[in-house]
Structure 1
Amino acid sequence: MNKKKIIPLFYLILIIIAFLIGKTYYKNSYSSNVKNDALLYIPTNATFEDVKVLINPYLKNIQSFENKAISLGYPNKIKAGRFKIKKGETNKEVINRLLLGKQEEVHLRIRNYDDIYELASDLGKNLEADSIIFLNYFKKEALEKGFPDVEELKIYFTPETYFVNWNTSPEKLFARFEKIHNNFWTEERLNKAKKLNLSKLEVYTLASIVQREYMKKEELPIISSLYLNRLNKGMKLQSDPTVIYAERKKQGFKVMMKRVKNISIDSPYNTYKYKGLPPLPICIPNDFVVDAVLNPANTNYLFMCAIKNTGMHAFTADDKEHMLNAKKYRQWLDSIGIK
C-alpha cells in the first residue's frame, strides 16, 4: 500500500479509537445514569457486589457505573449508610457521594413511650440495627449502671426529633442521649430536686405522671404542685394514668385504654392502692415537663378533674367539690360513649 495512503488511515484509526475512548469515558463519568430519585441503604460490611445489586434498579446502565466505580477505587472504600441518589445524576456524582459517606440523615422521632420495648421497636424500624439488638444493648447498659430494671433507662431519653445517620450503632446513639441528659442536669436543677426531697429518678417518675395528665402546658406547674402536695401529706396520688399503665403493662401494652377500669389492680404502679410514687416512670417525659416538676406552682390543691371538651382541669383542695366535678365528668364520658 502506498505510504501516503497508510499515514492518513493510521490517523483516522487513532481518531476513531480516541473517539470511542472519549465516548466511554463521558458515558461513565458525565452522562446521566440515574433513572429516578431513591434512597440507597448500604449495610455495614457490604461488598461491591452488594452495592451493585442494591443500586441496579435505579440505574440506566449498571456496567458504566461499575466501570467508573472501579476507576475511582470505590470497591475498596465502601461506607455504610443511607444515601440519596437523584434522577439525572451521573455515575461520578453518585460515587463521589458514596466515597465521602455523605448520608441522608434519618429524622428520628423519640416519643413519650410507655416502655423501653416500644422505644427499641421504633429504633429498629428507623435505623440499621434491629429492635432486638437495641433492646439487648439497653439491657446490658442498665446492668452496667446497676439498674435492677431496664425501664430505668427511660430517664436518659428526651422526646424530640433528632437527626442521625441510619447506621448509628446502639452504643453511639445511647452515648448521645446520655450526654444530653448530663447536660440537662445542671447544678441548679440538681439543687431544685434536692429541695423537693426527690432523687433524679423520682423527678422523672413524677414528671411521667404529669406528662400523662396534662393537656394544656399552662397547667403543668399546677398539676406538679398538686401531686407534690399529696406526696408531702402522705396521701395516695390516685392518678388514673398510673392505673391505666398498670393494666396495660399486665397485658403487654397491647391494648389502648382511655378510662380506668379497675382501680383495685394489684400493681406497684397503682397509686390508688399504694402510697408514694410508682417504682419507675410510666412513660418518657419531655424536658419541659421535668422542669415543671422542678418549678411547681405555689398552691394548696389536692384534687383535680378534667373539664369536658376543654383539655383543662378543675382544681380544688376540697374533696366534696372534687367529687361533684368527678361525677359531672363521668356522666359526660358516658354520654359520648367512652368506655
Structure 2
Amino acid sequence: MFKDNKTKYYLIAVVSFSVLLTSLSFYFYQAFFSPNALIDKEDPYILKIPSNATFQMVSDSLYQNGVIHELITFSFVSKVLGYQEAVKSGLYTIPAKTSNLNLVRLLRSGNQTPIKLTFNNVRTKEDLAEKITKNLEISPDAFMDLITDSVYIRKFGFKEETVMGMFIPNTYEIWWNTSAEKVFDRMYKEYGNYWTEARLAKAQNLGLTPIEVSTLASIVQAETQKSDERPKVAGVYLNRLRINMPLQADPTLVFAVGDFNLKRVLNVHKEIDSPYNTYKNTGLPPGPINLPEISSLEAVLNYEEHDYLYFCAKEDFSGYHAFAKNYNEHINNARRYQAALNRSKIY
C-alpha cells in the first residue's frame, strides 16, 4: 500500500512537472516569438527614443501608444536580453506584427532608420536653424548657439558673416539623434565634397574664393527665381566686378534693411550705411545674403559670357529680366518696369 501511494505521488509529481514545464515552455515561446507589436496593424510605427531615455520611458511610450499589446512579456524579454540596462536613443521603424524578440533585438542593436534632411529657401540663420532641426532631436536654439559662436565656427574656417556658405542645400541622410556639433561636422564634410578640385579651379579662374562664389551666388539667387536665367545674371555681376563697378544689387539692400517683405527698393534705401549696401561699396558684401542653392553656385561657376552690365525686371512680371549693355538702354528698360509697378500700385 505504501509503495502504491509513493508511486501515485511520484506520477502526480511527474505529471505536474510536465504540465508546468509545458506551460512555462509555451509561455516562453509566446513571450519571445509570438507577435506583440502592432498585432492588429499593417503599417509600421516610428519610435523616437530621446537621448538619456530610460527603459521605463521606452516601455511606457510603447504601451501607451498602443504599439505593444503585452507590457509584461516585453519587459521580461528585455530583461533576459539585457536591454533594460542598454537603452539606445534614436529613431526606429517597428514593423507590424513584430515579436518581442525581434523588437528588443532591433532596439538593443541601435539600428536606426535614417531621416531625410532637406533645407532650402533659407534667408537667415534663424531660418536655417528652424529648417535644419525640424526633423531632428536637437532644438533650433542648440543650433543657433553654435552658428553664432564665432570661436566655434572659426575651426571650420568661417566667420559669422560667411558661415552660411558652409551649408550646401540638398537632401542628406542623417540620424535623428545627431547632435548639433555632429550636424556641423557633417555639413562641413558635405561642403568639402561639393568643392571638388574642378570647382575650385573654376572659382580660381574667376578670381574668387569658394565663399566669394557663395556670396555672389546668393545675390544671383535673390535676383531671379528662374534657374535658366541665373548664369546670365551671374555674368552681369562678374562683368561689374572686373571693372570695379558697384554691384548695385537691390537684394543686398533688402538684406541690409532686414525687411524681406520689402517689395520696392527706393533711393532712401540706397543711402543705408551698411557693408551690404552694394550701391555705396564696390566689390562683394561680407558674406552670403541667403543660402545659395547648388543651381545658383553652378550659375556663377558656369556663368554666361556676354557684354551686359545692367538688367531690370521685365514689365510683364514674368520673373525674367531685360538686359542692357549701356546705361541709356537700361534706363529705358527700368522706366517701363517702374511704370508697370505704378499701374499695379506697388510702391
Tell me the TM-score normalized by structure 2. 0.86
Q: Tell me whether 1:279 sits opposite 2:279 in the alignment.
A: no
1:96 corresponds to: 105
Query: Could you tell which deviates more after superposition, 285-294 or 200-209?
Result: 285-294
Paired with 1:260 and 1:105, the residues of 2 have a C-alpha distance of 44
Taking structure 1 as the reference length, the TM-score comes to: 0.88
Shift, 1:176, TM fit: 2.1
Which residue number corresponds to residue 129 of structure 1?
A: 138
| CA positional deviation for 1:19 | 3.1
Q: CA RMSD in A?
A: 2.4
Give the secondary structure class of the aligned counterpart of 2:283.
Answer: coil
| Residues 89, 177 of structure 2: 8 Å contact kept | yes
Q: 1:86 to 1:145 in 2, by over 3 A?
A: closer
Structure index of larger Rg: 2
Identity score, percent = 37
CA contact (8 A) 2:45 2:94 kept: yes
**Matched residues in 1 for 2:26 and 2:342: separation?**
77
Does the CA-based 8 Å contact 1:303-1:315 persist in structure 2? yes
Matched, 1:141 2:152: yes
- SS at structure 2 position matched to 1:76: coil
Q: Which stretch has the larger CA shift, 203-212 or 171-180?
A: 171-180
Read off the aligned partner of 1:6 and give its amino acid letter. Answer: Y
For structure 1, the 5+ residue unaligned runs are none
Residue 116 of structure 2 aligns with an amino acid whose one-letter code is: H
Q: Give 3-state SS (helix, strand or coil) of 1:163's partner.
A: strand
- Give distance in 2, aligned partners of 1:31 and 1:334: 73
Q: Deviations over 1:135-176 (max 9, x none)?
A: 2233242243564x4231112111011110011122322222
2: CA distance, partners of 1:12 / 1:336: 95
**Structure 2 SS opposite 1:83:** strand
* Contact 1:116 1:151 survives alignment (8 Å): no
In the other structure, the counterpart of 1:260 is: 265
**In structure 2, do the counterparts of structure 1 residues 28 and 336 end up closer, same or farther at CA, with 3 Å as the change threshold?**
farther
Deviation, 1:227, is 0.5
User: Does the Cα contact within 8 Å between 1:155 and 1:284 map onto a contact in 2?
Assistant: yes
Note if 1:164 corresponds to 2:169: no
* Aligned pair partner of 2:184 in 164, 174, 198: 174
Q: Is the 8 A contact 1:244 1:259 kept in 2?
A: no
Q: In the alignment, residue 2 of structure 1 is paired with which amino acid?
A: N
Structure 2 gaps of 5+ residues are: none
Structure 1 residue 300: deviation in Å?
A: 0.6
Supply the distance in 2 between the matched residues of 1:40 and 1:20 (Cα, whole angstroms).
Answer: 33
Question: CA contact under 8 A between 1:52 and 1:62: conserved in structure 2?
Answer: yes
- Structure 2: how far apart are the matches of 1:288 and 1:319? 29
Distance of 1:95 and 1:330 partners within structure 2 = 67
- Mapped to 1, the partners of 2:300 and 2:10 lie a distance apart of 92
Could you tell me how far apart the structure 2 residues matched to 1:277 and 1:6 are? 98
Q: 2:248 aligns with which of 238, 242, 256?
A: 238
Match for residue 33 of structure 1?
Answer: 36
Which residue type is aligned with residue 311 of structure 2? M
Q: Does structure 1 conserve the Cα–Cα contact (< 8 Å) formed by 2:118 and 2:132?
A: no
CA deviations over 1:1-34 (Å, ceiling 9, x no partner): 7345434433331232123213322332222222
- The answer to whether the 8 Å contact 1:116/1:150 transfers is no
